[in-house]
């Protein structure tokens, strides 16, 4: 039998719909592929999968029943890594979950379980880092704005943290790489897309856009950051390990 | 708020507070109330790291660096010729709120020099916390430094608004304290600690009866000792520490390697290295006491008054107690597993879980992530290859050191580094 490539729309529901399709048609030799992915597989028959929430929900509920809530989230985390081929590892794990072996979630002797757990851990780490490293800047129209550029698609994971924490201020966190953001309007968080001019510099605090006092607080924060350092204990290796350089360009204490 | 003035004050008062080690914002669960600002999560978040590698989780500042005391080890001492400044209550509130809104910090750590009197100073610290909670509806983390000698009523009020309270005992021994801080008395630290401890206990029992009882210092209290300023040995330090854990239910004791800041002849001279490795060994010992079931006297006692610098304290203990080994990982209880050098508590829990399914061999243990190089001398498992040689403690230590590279190697070397 010729192998098949199922193309889904890039969403988690789309992915789960494709998984549903695999089980429904008892497909063996199959790949799952994001429609935006550029990988081409030779001699593979392509099939577009429609995203159907009902089917996606059934798969997700099934996984949750088998693994419990917190373990199932590992699969979602791993999915958000957007790593090349992660869908196929996930599919392997899901097949294993629905086999008859009990308590498979911690069976690290199974390659896909180990792999997913590793990827989920990386995504979890970046989620935590974004909760820490987001730097809001107050705009002239009273919105606390931040832009990020994470390796993984962690925006959906940090939404509730920021909603709980900043309930009394409007805020917007924008993912430059994936061109979408979260906007909280004092009531609910929405996913939005924004238009920025081509020459917009995300590392600068443009005085046409940001409030006057924004510059003062950035300066105070930079001063504070310098003052708390103890020169005789300087340890840049440790510093960079904690705050990897790729995040520096949007952290106000690192801009001067 | 005048920006220039605040800027100058912040530089002075953050600089003066940086020697306080505590910056943790964990251990307090405070939910965001009435759509206000902020919450405190159980874990805490480090929002940045200084270039010396320490975390920045709180806005750590002094309310003022005016001080009527003259403690030799302290930059803020009255005889030190430095610029003085003092924040107004509202300035601290504004800084905290604005930093917090920008996601720079998890909350506030507020300490102070003592101006006028202990109560006068403490009152102002409490006023900041009160304003943050009641006027700004702020639910982030607040750590207040208790001022030694402040009254019980003020200490109690502080606990109603702060997540954590602490008073630094600074010098581990009474004689050292007398010598370096002639104005301070040990009782002055103990009294507020005792008050807080009792109030925490009382609050907990009230909460059992009436659920709506307001929180009282939910993250408990902590203290700090300066290491290497007053000549005490590790045995004395950890005894003091153990005493405070046991008698005052402290959440944490911090150890702060003394950074020379003055030419006082009673203290290490400027330019003397900060004892970072020693500090690290003391923290390791602290962990062994709190999480690994060691009694402090097993690690430090009359016969063994200082920690080894070249090996960690658990390995040191194991080498002095070879008769307890080897331990069979497939049968030993949790307490003994935790005593094997190279096994952390996470590995211990993984081993206990995993051995329910099968007998563990070296391969399993390596995958779990134990430090094989150290552990192999102290344990047996379901493999034939283990260390059968009857090695002396000296020999084992030699073999371990040969096969490991310490990140402190530079510090350890006795050789002068002429060409660095």
Q: Which range has highest mean pLDDT (A42-51, B123-132, B250-259)? A: B123-132
Question: Which conformational region is residue B59 in: left (phi greater than 0), alpha (psi within -120 to 50 degrees), or beta?
Answer: beta
A243: chain B residues, CB-CB within 8 Å: 48-49
For chain A, give the longest Cα–Cα distance: 68
Asked if the Cβ–Cβ distance from B6 to A166 is below 8 Å, we say no
Q: Which of B53, B56, B103 sits opposite A235 (nearest CB)?
A: B53
Residue of A nearest to B54 (CA): A239
Provide the pLDDT confidence category of residue B417 given band limits of 50, 70 and 90.
very low
Question: Which conformational region is residue B231 in: left (phi greater than 0), alpha (psi within -120 to 50 degrees), or beta?
Answer: left
SS3 string, chain B, reads CCHHHHHHHHHHHHHCCCCCCCCCCCCCCECCCCCCECCECCCCCCCEECCCCCEECEEEEECECCCCCCCCCCCCCCCCCCCCCECCHHHHHHHHHHHHHCCCCCEEEEECCCCCCHHHHHHHHHHHHHHHHHHCCECCEEEEECCCCCCHHHHHHHHHHCCEEECCCECCCHHHHHHHCCCCCHHHHHHHHHHHHHHHHHHHHHHHHCCCCCCCCCCCEEEEEEECCCCCCHHHHHHHHHHHHHHHCCCEEEEEECCCCCCCCCCCCCCCCCCHHHHHHHHHHHHHHHHCCCCHHHHCECCECCCCCCCCHHHHHHHHCHHHCCEECCCCCHHHHCCCCCCCHHHHHHHHHHCCCCCCCHHHHHHHCCCHHHHCCCEECCCCCCCCCCCCHHHHHHHHHHCCCCCCHHHHCCCCCCCC
Q: Does the N-terminal peptide bond of residue A216 adopt cis geometry, omega within 30 degrees of 0? A: no
pLDDT digits (tens, 9 = 90+) for B158-215: 999 999 999 988 899 999 999 999 888 888 889 989 999 999 999 999 999 998 888 9
Whether ipTM tops 0.90, in short, is yes
Q: Which of B31, B95, B101 sits opposite A169 (nearest CB)?
A: B101
Q: CA B112: distance to chain centroid?
A: 19
In sequence order, the β-bridge partners of residue B37 are A166, B138
Q: How many CA atoms lie within 13 A of B331 on its CB side?
A: 6
The pLDDT value recorded for residue B91 is: 97
pLDDT beyond 60 at B110: yes
Question: Considering chain B, what percentage of its residues have pLDDT values greater than 90?
Answer: 68
Compute the CA torsion angle B409, B413, B415, B420 (nearest 10 deg): 30
B137: chain A residues, CB-CB within 8 Å: 168
Residue A221 touches partner B, C-beta closer than 8 Å: yes
B94-113 mean pLDDT: 97
Whether the CB-CB separation of B196 and B159 falls below 8 Å is answered with yes
A241: chain B residues, CB-CB within 8 Å: 53
B15: chain A residues, CB-CB within 8 Å: 227-228
CA gap A148, A133 in Å, rounded:
9
Whether the CB-CB separation of B104 and A135 falls below 8 Å is answered with yes
B68-80 mean pLDDT: 92
State whether residue A140 is helix, strand or coil.
Answer: coil
Asked if the Cβ–Cβ distance from B50 to A229 is below 8 Å, we say yes
Interface test with B, best of A107, A164, A220 (most B CBs within 10 A): A220
State whether residue A253 is helix, strand or coil.
Answer: helix
pLDDT beyond 70 at B232: yes
Q: Which of B39, B51, B56 sits opposite A164 (nearest CB)?
A: B39
Q: Which of A128, A167, A223 sits opposite B32 (nearest CB)?
A: A167
Burial of B195 (0-12, 13-18, 19+ CB in 10 A): buried
Sequence-distant (≥ 6) Cβ neighbours of residue A242 within 8 angstroms:
B46, B49, B53, B55
Q: Six-digit token pair at B278?
A: 């020693």
How close B410 comes to chain A (CA, Å)?
Answer: 13
Asked if the Cβ–Cβ distance from B37 to A167 is below 8 Å, we say yes
In sequence order, the β-bridge partners of residue B255 are B225
pLDDT beyond 60 at B394: yes
A101-105 mean pLDDT: 74
Whether the CB-CB separation of B250 and B217 falls below 8 Å is answered with no
> Average pLDDT of chain A?
92
Provide the pLDDT confidence category of residue A161 given band limits of 50, 70 and 90.
very high
The pLDDT value recorded for residue A1 is: 57
pLDDT digits (tens, 9 = 90+) for B247-281: 999 999 999 999 998 888 899 988 888 898 999 99
The pLDDT value recorded for residue B388 is: 65
B47: chain A residues, CB-CB within 8 Å: 132-133
A236: chain B residues, CB-CB within 8 Å: 51
How close B54 comes to chain A (CA, Å)?
Answer: 8
CA gap B47, B45 in Å, rounded:
6
pLDDT beyond 60 at B416: no
Q: Six-digit token pair at B321?
A: 């107690």
pLDDT beyond 80 at B47: yes
Residue of B nearest to A134 (CA): B103
Asked if the Cβ–Cβ distance from B102 to A144 is below 8 Å, we say yes
Asked if the Cβ–Cβ distance from A219 to B7 is below 8 Å, we say yes
The pLDDT value recorded for residue B419 is: 45
Provide the pLDDT confidence category of residue B412 given band limits of 50, 70 and 90.
low
Q: Which of B15, B35, B276 sits opposite A167 (nearest CB)?
A: B35
| Interface subset of A 91-150, CB within 8 angstroms of B | 108, 128, 131-138, 144, 146
Provide the pLDDT confidence category of residue B418 given band limits of 50, 70 and 90.
very low
Q: Six-digit token pair at A210?
A: 């940001």
Residues of B at the A interface (Cβ-Cβ below 8 Å)? 3, 6-7, 10-11, 14-15, 17-19, 31-32, 35-39, 45-56, 59-60, 95, 98-99, 101-104, 137, 259, 274, 276, 367
Find the radius of gyration of the CA atoms of chain B: 24
CA-wise closest residue to B142 among B248, B251, B59: B59
Residue A199 touches partner B, C-beta closer than 8 Å: no
Asked if the Cβ–Cβ distance from B47 to A137 is below 8 Å, we say no
B22-39 mean pLDDT: 88
Between the CA of residue A133 and those of A250, B176, B358, what are the distances in Å?
9, 42, 43
B48: chain A residues, CB-CB within 8 Å: 132-133, 225, 243, 251, 253
Residue A185 touches partner B, C-beta closer than 8 Å: no
């Amino acid at each position: 039998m010729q192998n098949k490539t199922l193309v889904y729309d890039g969403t988690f529901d789309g992915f789960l719909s494709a998984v549903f399709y695999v089980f429904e048609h008892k497909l063996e030799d199959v790949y799952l592929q994001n429609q935006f992915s550029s990988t081409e597989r030779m001699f593979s028959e392509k099939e577009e999968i429609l995203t159907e929430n009902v089917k996606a929900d059934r798969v997700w509920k099934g996984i949750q029943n088998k693994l419990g809530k917190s373990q199932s989230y590992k699969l979602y985390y791993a999915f958000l890594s957007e790593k090349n081929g992660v869908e196929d590892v996930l599919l392997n794990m899901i097949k294993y979950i629905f086999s008859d072996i009990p308590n498979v979630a911690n069976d690290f002797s199974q390659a896909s379980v180990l792999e997913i757990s590793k990827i989920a851990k990386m995504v979890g780490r970046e989620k935590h880092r974004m909760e820490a490293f987001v730097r809001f800047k107050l705009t002239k129209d009273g919105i606390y704005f931040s832009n990020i550029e994470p390796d993984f698609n962690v925006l959906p994971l940090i939404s509730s943290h920021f909603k709980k924490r900043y309930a009394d201020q409007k805020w917007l966190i924008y993912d430059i790489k994936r061109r979408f953001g979260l906007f909280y309007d004092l009531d609910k968080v929405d996913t939005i897309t924004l238009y920025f001019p081509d020459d917009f510099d995300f590392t600068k605090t443009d005085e046409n856009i940001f409030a006057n006092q924004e510059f003062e607080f950035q300066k105070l924060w930079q001063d504070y950051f310098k003052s708390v350092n103890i020169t005789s204990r300087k340890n840049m290796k440790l510093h960079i390990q904690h705050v990897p350089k790729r995040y520096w360009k949007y952290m106000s204490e690192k801009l001067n | 708020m005048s920006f220039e003035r605040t800027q100058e004050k912040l530089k002075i008062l953050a600089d003066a507070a940086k020697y306080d080690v505590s910056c943790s914002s964990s251990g307090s669960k405070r939910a965001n109330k009435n759509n206000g600002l902020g919450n405190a999560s159980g874990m805490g978040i480090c929002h940045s790291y200084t270039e010396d590698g320490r975390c920045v989780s709180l806005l750590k500042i002094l309310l003022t660096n005016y001080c009527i005391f003259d403690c030799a080890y302290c930059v803020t001492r009255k005889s030190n010729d430095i610029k003085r400044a003092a924040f107004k209550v509202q300035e601290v509130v504004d800084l905290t709120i604005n930093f917090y809104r920008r996601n720079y910090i998890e909350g506030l750590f507020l300490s102070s020099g003592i101006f006028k009197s202990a109560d006068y100073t403490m009152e102002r610290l409490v006023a900041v916390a009160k304003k943050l909670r009641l006027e700004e509806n702020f639910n982030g983390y607040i750590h207040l430094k208790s001022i030694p000698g402040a009254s019980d009523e003020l200490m109690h009020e502080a606990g109603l608004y702060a997540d954590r309270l602490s008073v630094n005992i600074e010098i581990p021994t009474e004689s050292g304290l007398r010598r370096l801080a002639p104005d301070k008395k040990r009782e002055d630290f103990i009294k507020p600690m005792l008050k807080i401890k009792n109030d925490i206990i009382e609050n907990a029992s009230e909460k059992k009866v009436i659920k709506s009882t307001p929180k009282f210092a939910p993250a408990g209290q902590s203290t700090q000792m300066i290491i290497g300023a007053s000549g005490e040995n590790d045995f004395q330090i950890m005894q003091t520490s153990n005493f405070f854990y046991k008698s005052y239910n402290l959440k944490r004791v911090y150890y702060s390697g003394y950074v020379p800041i003055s030419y006082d002849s009673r203290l290490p001279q400027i330019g003397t290295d900060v004892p970072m490795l020693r500090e690290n060994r003391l923290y390791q010992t602290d962990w062994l006491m709190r999480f690994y079931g060691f009694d402090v006297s097993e690690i430090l006692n009359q016969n063994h008054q200082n920690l080894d610098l070249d090996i960690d304290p658990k390995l040191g203990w194991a080498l002095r107690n070879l008769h307890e080994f080897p331990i069979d990982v497939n049968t030993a209880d949790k307490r003994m597993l935790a005593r094997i050098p190279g096994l952390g508590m996470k590995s211990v829990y993984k081993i206990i879980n995993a051995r329910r399914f099968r007998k563990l061999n070296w391969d399993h243990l390596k995958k779990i992530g134990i430090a094989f190089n150290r552990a192999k001398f102290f344990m047996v498992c379901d493999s034939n290859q283990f260390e059968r040689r009857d090695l002396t403690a000296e020999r084992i230590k030699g073999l371990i050191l040969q096969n490991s590279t310490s990140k402190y190697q530079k510090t350890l070397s006795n050789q002068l580094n002429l060409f660095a």
